[in-house]
Chain A
Amino acid sequence: MPLPARPLARAPGGEARLSRQPRSQRSRLRLARRRPRLPLAATMPNSVLWAVDLFGRVYTLSTAGQYWELCKDAQLEFKRVSATTQCCWGIACDNQVYVYVCASDVPIRRREEAYENQRWNPVGGFCEKLLLSDRWLWSDVSGLQHRPLDGVALPSPHWEWESDWYVDENFGGEPTEKGGWTYAIDFPATYTRDKKWNSCVRRRKWIRYRRYKSRDIWAKIPSKDDPKELPDPFNDLSVGGWEIMEEPVGRLSVWAVSLQGRVWYREDVSHSNPEGSSWSLLDTPGEVVQISCGPHDLLWATLWEGQALVREGINRSNPKGSSWSIVEPPGSENGIMHVSVGVSVVWAVTKDRKVWFRRGVNSHNPCGTSWIEMVGEMTMVNVGMNDQVWGIGCEDRAVYFRQGVTPSELSGKTWKAIVVARECDRSHSGSSSSLLSAGCFFGDEVRGSGESAPSDTDASSEIERPGPGQPLPAEPLDDSRNPTGSLASGPGAGRTTEDTVEDACPAKSGREARLDTHPGQASTLAELPWTNIDLKEPKKVPSHSAASFPETNSLSSLGILPLGLEEPYGADDHPLWAWVSAGGCAVEACAVPRWFTVQAGLSPSVQTLSLSITPAQTAAWRKQIFQQLTERTKRELENFRHYEQAVEQSVWVKTGALQWWCDWKPHKWLDVRVALEQFTGHDGARDSILFIYYVVHEEKKYIHMFLNEVTALVPVLNETKHSFALYTPERTRQRWPVRLAAATEQDMNDWLALLSLSCCESRKVQGRPSPQAIWSVTCKGDIFVSEPSLDLEAHEHPLPCDQMFWRQMGGHLRVVEANSRGVVWGLGYDHTAWVYTGGYGGGCFQGLASSTSNIYTQSDVKCVHIYENQRWNPVTGYTSRGLPTDRYMWSDASGLQECTKAGTKPPSLQWAWVSDWFVDFSVPGGTDQEGWQYASDFPASYHGSKTMKDFVRRRCWARKCKLVTSGPWLEVAPIALRDVSIIPESPSAEGSGHSIALWAISDKGDVLCRLGVSELNPAGSSWLHVGTDQPFMSISIGACYQVWAVARDGSAFYRGSVYPSQPAGDCWYHIPPPPRQRLKQVSVGQTSVYALDDNGNLWYRQGITPSYPQGSSWEHVSNNVCRVSVGPLDQVWVIASKVQGSHSLSRGTVCHRTGVQPHEPKGQGWDYGIGGGWDHISVRANATRGPRSSSQEQEPSAPPEAYGPICC
């Protein structure tokens, strides 16, 4: 008998709405409401460059922005900053260390735990009286440390308690008896949740959360260390090491140098402990003046004498490294005064300001081999993410970016100055921040609408609205907005237009052309190589003599410059910089921000240009042109409207040579000729046939396919072949598509685009998918959409789902979730969240079958894993020499395929490596220090420590690869997500008033609720964090605001009291998983709740009633399921892991539950649809049920497509 679920002790605090939002974000939201068409997220991930000017003021420059923004907390003056994506460390002018943790919608929470221990005695039962030998009454988990609740203090003033202490009633996924007690025979022992006859002791866990509150301000690192070891004032500081290990999340290496030249390391810095715990001193062979820590294991420092110190032996188990080696400077007369390191590069500046690049640096040889002199003179250089390099020019004190740094050319090509202004230079008014955002925003708007203007009425009406930085257009003569009218303004199109020509559109496009700077050309001035830049001696910069040492540079400048000089610099001069840190700035060689040109809309020349066409001037000739065009159209076209269109009736053919995976055994690729014949009927409809001509036994044969029967075209890219598969309903049933391969990727894309266009034409499917569309994703990350027909969810004779037509959308996703109000979200393999923009096409369909706007660049990153296998032998221990029967010493996970480091390629040609091979320590089962997992033999279950019985071991190597494509998606920055769910709504529901409920799980397991999601603003505005006591994995919200989730321990949770007015609900109810199963996914429809466990079993939640929404028990529905989606009609769709067809077996098949009725919500059987590599489906947008057929009385015989439960 299942236990009824009880509300858990409230996990408090987490639900509080975060009122503090970055100012810029708030102002962006305001703009969003006004102009919802363009989604908000920047097309480029928004990361920032940090810099300090000569006055110690800290500025940030966003990769999506065009102004230096003064740091939000501008109280302090700084001499050093060192940034990462999540925070920035700095040394202020008081020589104290500060950390600036960027604000986020997800709070930094840390759990404190204490155990209450009790012993049973015959008199009073369980009581607080313990034996003398026992542990403390209040202790930590081990029982060794005394830990009274009121003795647990906040570590620093930057933390606050979220709530009071409360008892944790969840014990390993199972709810405990009242009070949260767990029982054991004696301390220390194994505790159980049930009280037995021999339970003599019991304990319970109290938990309390504390929250880091000092976000978006500089928080002083308290120096409460031992007075003897108290570091002297700090002089330099560097943060890095975030790639050394994944655990704990956000771990950082923070290194500092004191004025006395000693090196300090900050212990325990991570995301959940942003301040770290204490400073520890490291011995150095000399007096250190400056230090630089790379993202990975590189750490260099400079010595007073001008040599460089290189730290060796930095790795996961020892992030502090083990020893120093010395690298001599490039020349004996000029020592090194500054170094900066990246993942595999070292840059240095010598005392004569020359810039040097260290050749041959990598993990195995952190010292590198030799120095190469680079062009340019800098006071400092800084290596940021992706080994991109930044510097501060020696004479002009400008920030320079090293252009052309790529993995193959790490030293780059030229220095390019950043010419953007500070926001304060633009506007001296108080609301500079919102103005800034507005400026950026309108810059984007001009660009964006330029793309869509010619055919988009809405866009043209958008642009009619004048805004700041957008001069008023010439007065239109005619106010009517006719979208096709703009045709006349296009070159050569005047002849074909049939519409009245009017003035508005040409005026608009003329204006666009003027406002649209072409970055490539506009930047020519700034692109000049360093050597050609006419360096102007800044008027008031103190000239740095060669004798001044780097660590005193900024200090001396600060000291020498009287504060009174501040004003002359402010307005007319460009900012003078002292320090730059790019550790949190993600710039890639292929997509450099627009920082190097003076932006359009601001440059005076542009404004004068636009103004040069004044209404007075234009009136005469413009009026005359449009008048004439109108007359001409009337004369030449109007009178001939009744003429029949000269539609080509002929056959249009594309032929080519492809390869075909033949139907008979042995299967192999055959060279074939392929011809696509396109007919155009009298009604203008097109139909196409694809012929495949092949030769077998010297006999010429062919097969043909009608494209109007094709149900899906799936690219099947792998390392070697550019192939694609064509499915028809019959081929779907056979599990045997027609597979064709092209010689080149281009060739394949051409065929795919053309065939896809033909399929869509013959089915008259085009444009944006309807809001009810069914979305799915294949294991390759390709996105497919199907328009649900009316009878798809009909009670009787529903459309067999092998007849559904799927068309591809551009982009690359792992998960996609939709809702019937047109809100679609996707998640990438790298957990990036994306929102659908309303476009279509993109990817390989660019150009032909693609919308001209709303298509953006999209990228995704995933890891490729291979395994290193070793066998133990008595003489040499573990070696890479196995038994002859063993698997390959380098293999895939199964051991069947050989996969060497050198021989393993990215999954397809779309992917490119972006990292080197690294050991993956996060494999299930755990690893030892070197990443090995042990087992008695291959294949077996592996564990993380070596025992006597183990004779083999393996370790997992991973390598990151990246794909760049395009599609109708925009990033929802900055929080990465693991799962997302949007409320399903039926069209009858009056839902358009309130916002659309959207819940998500962050990649760290936080539960989040998105606020402000609507049709007009599908990206929403901000996250609301919902507190949990453990990380979550999956979430789903039903049509009646039932929120179900699955936690990492495999149990389910129900969120109580979620309403539109209370979007985050009030508390979690714990729901145990089915016996001996761990749940991994949950999906909630109108009323049905389905969950999926780790073993592929699908469970239905029984006994759910409005008054008892948690239900009573799990009922098994089916096995062989790897993903489930329940829709607003309670329709159940799954991805089945294996399905046998008549020709072959396919993995990852879309299946539809048949016979789902209100009185039989579990349904009867499965109907199999498209398959072969499908990973994910969302039917949650389809709320259209076909009309009930009149033949109600007819006995519903089992539909032919309903086979029993899937079995494989």
Chain B
Amino acid sequence: MHYPIGLLFDLLASSSALPWNITVHFKSFPEKDLLHCPSKDAIEAHFMSCMKEADALKHKSQVINEMQKKDHKQLWMGLQNDRFDQFWAINRKLMEYPAEENGFRYIPFRIYQTTTERPFIQKLFRPVAADGQLHTLGDLLKEVCPSAVAPEDGEKKNQVMIHGIEPMLETPLQWLSEHLSYPDNFLHISIIPQPTD
């Protein structure tokens, strides 16, 4: 599916030996399963729509809408040309939030599980609790995907992976969103079964 490659690796191949062997198919495109992007423009449009969705969650789209067309272009060109400084010069603005707030409005995240049919979980989730306490990764999982978290005393059955690492469940979600989001500004979290060995 249209997942970032890093996410696909976490989700499907994190236990496989490196380097990761990928089979590239040049025919029989799985039209049923995947959205076919006929051109580079379509990919760009898809990427930008993800960004816009993320900003809609974070800032009611205010930041991305205030940007100029060339800023949007720069985001895409920066990603496309693997130029982090270009990308971040603009993306930085998307990672800001008003001083009077303690974080974004909602955290743009998606939780992927290999075990279910459902492609991913995405819900509205605020980074700060009503009492002003920062929500953590654990809080999020308990709320939207309780099956992923092991019971207090139980055996750890799942791994919670972001960018190939397992952040502690005590990590504040706002921090994760600012620092471990993918270029599309979403926090892609994979839940994979704990390796048995």
Cβ-neighbour of B170 out of A487, A506, A609, A620 (below 8 A) = A620
> Could you tell me if B97 and A509 are in contact, using CB atoms closer than 8 angstroms?
no
Number of B residues with CB within 8 Å of any CB on chain A: 52
> Could you tell me if B178 and A513 are in contact, using CB atoms closer than 8 angstroms?
yes
CB distance from B73 to the nearest CB of A (A): 6
> Could you tell me if A491 and B86 are in contact, using CB atoms closer than 8 angstroms?
no
- Best-surrounded residue of A492, A598, A643, A847 (most CB of chain B within 10 A): A492
> Could you tell me if B167 and A524 are in contact, using CB atoms closer than 8 angstroms?
no
> Could you tell me if B62 and A521 are in contact, using CB atoms closer than 8 angstroms?
yes
> Could you tell me if B179 and A509 are in contact, using CB atoms closer than 8 angstroms?
yes
Chain B, residues 50-64, CB within 8 Å of chain A (1/0): the string is: 000000000100110
Cβ-neighbour of B164 out of A494, A522, A524, A620 (below 8 A) = A494
Chain B, residues 81-93, CB within 8 Å of chain A (1/0): the string is: 0101111110111
Q: Which of A352-360, A600-608, A885-893 contacts B (4 or more CB under 8 A)?
A: A600-608
CB within 8 Å: A-B pair count: 133
CA A521 – CA B95 in complex, angstroms?
Answer: 13
CA A516 – CA B98 in complex, angstroms?
Answer: 8
> Could you tell me if B4 and A492 are in contact, using CB atoms closer than 8 angstroms?
yes
> Could you tell me if B97 and A518 are in contact, using CB atoms closer than 8 angstroms?
yes
Q: Is A632 an interface residue (CB 8 A)?
A: yes
> Could you tell me if B168 and A620 are in contact, using CB atoms closer than 8 angstroms?
yes
Q: Is B165 an interface residue (CB 8 A)?
A: yes
CA A603 – CA B99 in complex, angstroms?
Answer: 8
List the B residue with the shortest CB-CB distance to A496: B82
Q: Which of A64-72, A235-243, A448-456, A946-954 contacts B (4 or more CB under 8 A)?
A: A448-456
> Could you tell me if B98 and A524 are in contact, using CB atoms closer than 8 angstroms?
yes
List the B residue with the shortest CB-CB distance to A848: B77
Q: What's the dominant secondary structure at chain A's contact region?
A: helix
> Could you tell me if B167 and A624 are in contact, using CB atoms closer than 8 angstroms?
yes
Chain B residues within 8 Å of A489, by CB: 179
CB distance from A40 to the nearest CB of B (A): 23
List the A residue with the shortest CB-CB distance to B89: A852
List the B residue with the shortest CB-CB distance to A518: B96
Q: Is B74 an interface residue (CB 8 A)?
A: yes
CA A517 – CA B98 in complex, angstroms?
Answer: 5
Interfacial residues of chain B within 156-197, with CB under 8 A of chain A in the complex = 163-168, 170-172, 175, 178-185
> Could you tell me if B96 and A513 are in contact, using CB atoms closer than 8 angstroms?
yes
Chain B residues within 8 Å of A664, by CB: none
Chain A, residues 465-496, CB within 8 Å of chain B (1/0): the string is: 00000000000000000000001011111111
CA A635 – CA B17 in complex, angstroms?
Answer: 10
CB distance from B63 to the nearest CB of A (A): 7
CB distance from B44 to the nearest CB of A (A): 14
Chain A, residues 638-652, CB within 8 Å of chain B (1/0): the string is: 011001000000000
CA A492 – CA B178 in complex, angstroms?
Answer: 11
CB distance from A851 to the nearest CB of B (A): 9
Chain B residues within 8 Å of A609, by CB: 102
CB distance from B99 to the nearest CB of A (A): 4
List the B residue with the shortest CB-CB distance to A600: B99
Chain A residues within 8 Å of B101, by CB: 521
Chain A residues within 8 Å of B102, by CB: 605, 609
List the B residue with the shortest CB-CB distance to A602: B99
Chain A residues within 8 Å of B168, by CB: 620-621, 624-625
Chain B residues within 8 Å of A492, by CB: 4, 6, 163, 181-184
- Best-surrounded residue of B4, B96, B175, B184 (most CB of chain A within 10 A): B96
Q: Is B66 an interface residue (CB 8 A)?
A: yes
> Could you tell me if B171 and A625 are in contact, using CB atoms closer than 8 angstroms?
yes
List the A residue with the shortest CB-CB distance to B137: A621
Q: Is B38 an interface residue (CB 8 A)?
A: no
List the B residue with the shortest CB-CB distance to A606: B99
Q: Is A156 an interface residue (CB 8 A)?
A: no
Number of A residues with CB within 8 Å of any CB on chain B: 51
Chain B residues within 8 Å of A516, by CB: 96
Q: Is A21 an interface residue (CB 8 A)?
A: no
> Could you tell me if B179 and A506 are in contact, using CB atoms closer than 8 angstroms?
yes
> Could you tell me if B18 and A639 are in contact, using CB atoms closer than 8 angstroms?
yes
With A606-B99, A640-B19, A852-B89: A520-B62 Cβ-Cβ less than 8 Å:
yes
CB distance from B128 to the nearest CB of A (A): 10
CB distance from A618 to the nearest CB of B (A): 9
> Could you tell me if B82 and A847 are in contact, using CB atoms closer than 8 angstroms?
no
Q: Is A461 an interface residue (CB 8 A)?
A: no
Chain A residues within 8 Å of B89, by CB: 451, 852
Cβ-neighbour of A625 out of B70, B167, B181 (below 8 A) = B167
CA A609 – CA B132 in complex, angstroms?
Answer: 10
Chain B residues within 8 Å of A521, by CB: 59, 62-63, 97-98, 101
Cβ-neighbour of B183 out of A491, A600, A603, A631 (below 8 A) = A491
With A612-B134, A846-B70: A518-B85 Cβ-Cβ less than 8 Å:
no
Interfacial residues of chain A within 614-662, with CB under 8 A of chain B in the complex = 620-621, 624-625, 628-629, 631-632, 635-636, 639-640, 643
Cβ-neighbour of A455 out of B77, B84, B97 (below 8 A) = B84
CB distance from B80 to the nearest CB of A (A): 11
CA A562 – CA B172 in complex, angstroms?
Answer: 54
Q: Is A510 an interface residue (CB 8 A)?
A: yes
CB distance from B97 to the nearest CB of A (A): 7
List the B residue with the shortest CB-CB distance to A456: B85
Chain A residues within 8 Å of B165, by CB: 625, 628-629, 631-632
CA A547 – CA B110 in complex, angstroms?
Answer: 66
Chain A residues within 8 Å of B178, by CB: 509-510, 513
Cβ-neighbour of A491 out of B71, B73, B134, B181 (below 8 A) = B181
Q: Is B131 an interface residue (CB 8 A)?
A: no
Chain B, residues 30-71, CB within 8 Å of chain A (1/0): the string is: 000000000000000000000000000001001100100111
CA A605 – CA B178 in complex, angstroms?
Answer: 19
Chain A residues within 8 Å of B172, by CB: 621
Cβ-neighbour of B74 out of A598, A600, A746, A848 (below 8 A) = A848
Cβ-neighbour of A522 out of B73, B85, B93, B98 (below 8 A) = B98
CB distance from A965 to the nearest CB of B (A): 13
Chain A residues within 8 Å of B117, by CB: none
CB distance from A833 to the nearest CB of B (A): 28
Q: Is B153 an interface residue (CB 8 A)?
A: no
Cβ-neighbour of A518 out of B63, B134, B183 (below 8 A) = B63
With A454-B85, A520-B62, A848-B74: A491-B99 Cβ-Cβ less than 8 Å:
no
CA A516 – CA B70 in complex, angstroms?
Answer: 22
List the B residue with the shortest CB-CB distance to A851: B85
> Could you tell me if B88 and A454 are in contact, using CB atoms closer than 8 angstroms?
yes
Q: Is B152 an interface residue (CB 8 A)?
A: no
Chain B residues within 8 Å of A496, by CB: 82, 84
> Could you tell me if A491 and B182 are in contact, using CB atoms closer than 8 angstroms?
yes
Q: Is B100 an interface residue (CB 8 A)?
A: yes
> Could you tell me if A636 and B96 are in contact, using CB atoms closer than 8 angstroms?
no
With A454-B84, A454-B85: A518-B93 Cβ-Cβ less than 8 Å:
yes
List the B residue with the shortest CB-CB distance to A609: B102
CA A522 – CA B101 in complex, angstroms?
Answer: 9
> Could you tell me if B179 and A847 are in contact, using CB atoms closer than 8 angstroms?
no
> Could you tell me if B85 and A491 are in contact, using CB atoms closer than 8 angstroms?
no
Chain A residues within 8 Å of B82, by CB: 496
List the B residue with the shortest CB-CB distance to A491: B181
CA A885 – CA B74 in complex, angstroms?
Answer: 56
CA A631 – CA B185 in complex, angstroms?
Answer: 24
- Best-surrounded residue of A450, A494, A518, A635 (most CB of chain B within 10 A): A518
Hey, which bits of chain B sit against chain A, CB under 8 A? 4-6, 18-19, 59, 62-63, 66, 69-71, 73-74, 77, 82, 84-89, 91-93, 95-102, 134, 163-168, 170-172, 175, 178-185
Q: Which are the 6 A-B pairs with shortest beta-carbon distances?
A: A491-B181, A628-B165, A847-B74, A492-B182, A521-B98, A852-B89
Name 19 A/B residue pairs within 8 A (Cβ), A-sorted: A451-B92, A490-B84, A490-B179, A491-B180, A492-B184, A494-B180, A509-B179, A518-B93, A521-B97, A603-B99, A605-B99, A613-B175, A620-B170, A624-B167, A625-B165, A625-B167, A625-B180, A643-B19, A848-B86
Besides the known contacts A495-B6, A513-B97, A636-B164, 11 further A-B residue pairs in the complex with CB atoms under 8 A apart: A451-B89, A490-B87, A492-B184, A510-B179, A518-B93, A629-B163, A629-B165, A632-B163, A846-B70, A846-B74, A847-B73
